[in-house]
Amino acid sequence: METIRLTAAQAMVRWLAAQMTEEGERFVEGIWAIFGHGNVAGLGAALHEARDTFPTWRGQNEQTMAHAAIAFAKGHARRRAMAVTSSIGPGATNMVTAAALAHVNRLPLLLIPGDVFAGRRPDPVLQQIEDFGDGTVSANDCFRPVVRYFDRITRPEQLLSALPRALAVMTDPADCGPVCLSFCQDVQAEGFDWPCDFFAPRVWRIRRPEPDMAELAEVAALIRAAQAPVIVAGGGVIYSGAEAALAEFAARHAIPVIETQAGKSALAQAHPMNLGAAGVDGSAAANAAAAAADLVLGIGTRFQDFTTGSWSLFANPARRLVSVNVQAQDALKHGAVPLVADARVALERLSAQMGGYRGTVDAAARAAWLAAVDAHCAAPDPDGPLPSDAQVIGAVQRATGPEAIAMGAAGTMPGALKLLWQASQGGYHMEYGFSCMGYEIAGAIGLKLAHPEREVICFTGDGSYMMANSELATAVMRRVPFTVVLTDNRGYGCINRLQQACGGAAFNNLYTECAVEAQPEIDYVAHAASLGAHAVRAVTIADLEAEVTAARGRDIPTVIVIETRATEGPGFGAAGHWWDVAVPEVSHRPEIAAAYDRYLAQAARVRRAN
């Protein structure tokens, strides 16, 4: 057998560079890296040698580099991914949150933290945590619960099986998620005689599992028997590339579609079957259809509590639940009748068994809903109070076209955008599985790298901006342009409102209710400009529209700061849908006691699905 002598790190890089998509691109596009003693000498040297075939980029923080990598994978509908490497210790544990984010959202991510010496000679090496009860534990064991595959590379030849297993997980439609190859520092640098054919290029095809015939027949019969079915479209529709199949299925069979955060923009808002967002932050049209539905057909959805209104939605006593999902654990949740299959294949096979079946769509409710959105998001009187977040969304919508992608993760904006953003197909990217503050700006980089042809609009609150903004400097250096709309309401607006809705006192969310000696006067424009971004303040909604338009064509990010009202959420259309946020049973505050009574009454009305 022909062999080649390489270090384990060299072998890893060479192998990764040879793993291809069906379209002939590298599945792992490249690697984000911050070096330290745990990866600089071993993996760092290998990456330097391979810099022309497997690119390395430096970011500012391991967590946010991983956010960029995750957004790249989400932007590519899981058909491509990126890797991230860190040193040992704090660099590695900085990535744990990002691993959890990718895990919840079922997105591929390859994490390669350095690890302590397998040979243990220098123990305790700098940044080694030392477990007195277990010699096999290192800080990197933190990754175990938040990745789909964890491996510690303690001998070079382990890579012969660990690397293919890593790619198998990242390209598996059902088990897709983050992988951690914890790479012991000494092993990275160790030589081994590798079989040359290990490095032969390999194409990773993403499978489309066919449905079981019995499951298919059962589900088709349930739909044919339904009077008022509704489809809940989740992220799985997008990951399957089932957008056109869904549009065709919904139109042919007249079944309304309601959207989850991950599924929004699978169907353009303009599609006549699209009733908008479902659930806690859902549209009146979608929630009315959901409440009346006698059959709920989930497609590629986890039925997260925002989607189901913590099961206060879908209240028709005759309601049946069907779940089409490539992952059996998801398909079986909540007592659903499962159809385990790829979403696109399932829709095609189902349609073939449904003949001329047609459900019912309330076109008038849809039209009324869209008219209400336009009115709600219209430009306000410039001399009136500070704009609302809804008016900000309206301004961005008017200033952009179908090529724009609205993106974000946490705060007021995800709910507001889910409700109000009228997405083109593919025009929406929300990290709402983990809803991680600090995803936004780094995520915008990854999304723009995945879609250089589209305009990326990153919505962030002042709170999320403060949590993680430093990758703006990376975007400036790499000339990755996008537009950040920073809504400054002087604190954590959405949590402040939630706190009071639960009977709590306004406390520790807006700066005005925090224990501070002086109210902050944070100059976000100066801050973003100092990182190299083009930064401006918009005072009015008209200013905002003009600045969004002016940003187009710049080769660096633009940050537009606009002050908004903290007291107002998206504020309409949610039709009173509930969210189960546990309220204290014991309190001296009458407001909490009243909220607790409301909580019990609402909880008693919820019809659990299981």
Ligand X SMILES: Cc1ncc(C[n+]2csc(CCOP(=O)(O)OP(=O)(O)O)c2C)c(N)n1
d(CA 420, CA 415): 9
To the nearest whole angstrom, how small is the minimum distance from the Cβ of residue 126 to Mg ion? 38
d(CA 417, CA 431): 12
Binding site for Mg ion (CB under 5 A): 461-463, 489, 493
Q: Binding partner of residue 113 among Mg ion, ligand X, none, CB under 5 to 8 Å per kind?
A: none
For Mg ion, the closer CB: 298 or 491: 491
For ligand X, the closer CB: 88 or 485: 485
To the nearest whole angstrom, how small is the minimum distance from the Cβ of residue 389 to ligand X? 7
Supply 55's token pair.
Answer: 């690119």
Q: Considering the rule CB under 6 A, would residue 433 count as an interface residue with ligand X?
A: no
Q: Considering the rule CB under 6 A, would residue 495 count as an interface residue with ligand X?
A: yes
Supply 551's token pair.
Answer: 């940003």
Respond yes or no on whether the N-terminal peptide bond of residue 124 is cis (omega within 30° of 0). Answer: yes
Buried b (16+ CB within 10 A) or exposed e, 553-569: eeebbbbbbbbbbbbbb
Alpha helices (H) in 303-362, listed in sequence order: 305-308, 328-332, 343-352
Q: Considering the rule CB under 6 A, would residue 436 count as an interface residue with ligand X?
A: yes
Position among 489, 499, 540, 558 found at the interface with ligand X (CB under 6 A):
489
Q: Binding partner of residue 471 among ligand X, Mg ion, none, CB under 5 to 8 Å per kind?
A: none
Span interacting with ligand X, options 300-308, 339-347, 461-469, 591-599, rule CB under 6 A: 461-469
Q: Considering the rule CB under 6 A, would residue 486 count as an interface residue with ligand X?
A: no
Q: Considering the rule CB under 6 A, would residue 435 count as an interface residue with ligand X?
A: yes
d(CA 264, CA 273): 13
Amino acid identity of residue 156, one-letter, is P
Q: Which of 158, 63, 112, 184 is nearest to 431 (CA)?
A: 63
For ligand X, the closer CB: 231 or 436: 436
> Taking CB under 6 A as the criterion, which residues in 402-421 touch ligand X?
410-412
Site string for ligand X, 58-97 (x = CB under 6 A): ----------------------------------------
Q: Considering the rule CB under 6 A, would residue 105 count as an interface residue with ligand X?
A: no
Q: Considering the rule CB under 6 A, would residue 99 count as an interface residue with ligand X?
A: no
Q: In sequence order, what are the residues at sequence separation of 6 or more whose Cβ sits closer than 8 angstroms to the Cβ of residue 313?
A: 278, 279, 282, 287, 290, 291, 307, 577
Q: Considering the rule CB under 6 A, would residue 463 count as an interface residue with ligand X?
A: yes
Site string for ligand X, 573-592 (x = CB under 6 A): --------------------
Strand, coil or helix: what is 310?
A: coil
Q: What is the 3-state secondary structure (H, E, C) of 441-498?
A: HHHHHHHHHHCCCCEEEEEEEHHHHHHCCCHHHHHHHHCCCCEEEEEECCECHHHHHH
Position among 32, 239, 492, 511 found at the interface with ligand X (CB under 6 A):
492
Q: Are 77 and 107 in contact (CB under 8 A)?
A: no
Position among 16, 81, 423, 437 found at the interface with ligand X (CB under 6 A):
437
To the nearest whole angstrom, how small is the minimum distance from the Cβ of residue 497 to Mg ion? 11
Site string for ligand X, 356-395 (x = CB under 6 A): ----------------------------------------
Q: Considering the rule CB under 6 A, would residue 279 count as an interface residue with ligand X?
A: no
**Cβ neighbour number for residue 9 with a 10 Å cutoff:** 29
Q: Are 420 and 393 in contact (CB under 8 A)?
A: yes
The residue count of the chain comes to 610
Q: Considering the rule CB under 6 A, would residue 494 count as an interface residue with ligand X?
A: yes
Strands (E), 72-227: 81-86, 109-115, 149-153, 178-184, 191-195, 202-203
For ligand X, the closer CB: 298 or 411: 411
For ligand X, the closer CB: 228 or 395: 395
Q: Binding partner of residue 540 among ligand X, Mg ion, none, CB under 5 to 8 Å per kind?
A: none
For ligand X, the closer CB: 353 or 470: 470
Q: Are 51 and 79 in contact (CB under 8 A)?
A: no
Q: Would you tell me which residues interact with ligand X (CB under 6 A)?
A: 410-412, 435-438, 461-464, 487, 489, 492-495
